[in-house]
Structure 1
Amino acid sequence: MVNIDDFVKRLETLLDYYNLNASSFADKIGVQRSSLSHLLSGRNKPSLDFILKILEVFPEVDLYWILNGKGSFPKTINTEQQIETPPTPLNDNAISSNLFSEVQETKKTTPVEIKKVEKKPESISSEIEKIVFFYKDGSFKEFTPQ
């Protein structure tokens, strides 16, 4: 659970760090100024949407730090969490203009019979955009309904 008093202190730290007042901070992350005012006064607790907007606009903010004070601000990368293997240099000849054009099917696949299942109609109507089958050999097939 978020301690609102400590959260307000961390929020004020953000304002000081970015040299913003409450109004400009609210405008920058896309929330109403009154919402931020209610948070700063301790009247309201932060919503998940509010936290996600902060993280989206200010990537230096660590989620755990803003929520419960654990971690650091600005965010530091733990050396153990960095990428394990260095990237391989790319060969210009290895990249084709369409990465999926060279996918070859290595396994014979047998068609699968799909049975229609009757289901109660839901209140929300939704349509299938596409169906993708992934195979263990790394290949895939994509089907788009007509």
Structure 2
Amino acid sequence: MVNSQDFAKRLHIILDYYQLSATSLADKLEVNRSTISHLLSGRNKPSLDFVMKLLSHFPEVDLYWLMNGTGKFPAEKNEAIRSTDSISMDMTPTESEGNKYHQKKEGLISDSQIERIVIFFKDGSFKAYDRD
């Protein structure tokens, strides 16, 4: 769960890094100014929509750092790409596994480790696929 006070501290760091005021951040993300005010004061927790807008406008912000303080800020620009470019997905189901998908590189992730896959869209919506 997100700690509102810690999230507010990280949001202040983002404002300082990009030299933005709360008002200019609200305008840039197209959110109400009160939304930023409530987040900065620790009164409210961030919505998924807010987090997605922030991440899409500021690629140096790492999701895990933003939400729980782990990771780095600013993140390296190609960090997310590097972590996934070694993983190649074979999107054709195997006969013995039904509709389960397998990675071509062995040993990275096994089917038994995958519980849920969530895809986030730019409009803030998402689609979750649970393990049957």
TM-score above 0.5, yes or no: yes
Higher helix share: 2
Match of 2:75 in 1: 75
Tell me how far 1:78 sits from its aligned partner.
7.4
Matches within 5 A, 1:1-146: 1-76=1-76, 77=79, 81=83, 83-84=85-86
Query: Cα distance, 1:79 vs. partner?
Result: 9.5
Greater relative contact order (CA < 8 Å, ≥ 6 in sequence)? 2
User: C-alpha offsets along residues 86-134 of structure 1, whole Å, 9 cap, x if unaligned?
Assistant: xxxxxxxxxxxxxxxxxxxxxxxxxxxxxxxxxxxxxxxxxxxxxxxxx
Q: Alignment identity in percent?
A: 59
RMSD of aligned alpha carbons: 2.0
Gaps of 5+ in 1: 86-146
Larger radius of gyration: 1
Shift of 1:82: 6.1
Aligned equivalents of 1:22, 1:78: Cα separation in 2: 27
Q: How far apart, CA to CA, are the structure 1 residues paired with 2:46 and 2:55?
A: 13
1:56-104 residue CA offsets vs partner (Å, 9 max, x unmatched):
111111010100001101112279626349xxxxxxxxxxxxxxxxxxx
TM-score (norm 1): 0.54
1:52 and 1:39 mapped to 2: Cα distance?
15
Equivalent residue letter for 1:81: S
Aligned-partner Cα distance in 1 for 2:21–2:11: 11
- Matched letter for residue 31 of structure 1: V
In structure 2, relative to structure 1, the CA distance for the partners of 1:82 and 1:7 (3 Å cut) is: same
Structure-2 change in CA distance of 1:26 and 1:79 (3 Å): closer
Q: What is the deviation of 1:41? A: 1.2
| Structure 1 residue ranges, 4+ long, deviating more than 6 angstroms after superposition | none
Structure 1 pair 16–78 and aligned structure 2 pair: CA distance change class (3 A): same
Q: What TM-score results when the alignment is normalised by the length of structure 2? A: 0.59
Secondary structure (helix, strand or coil) at the match of 2:71 reads coil
For residues 33 and 78 of structure 1, the distance between their equivalents in structure 2, rounded to whole angstroms, comes to 30
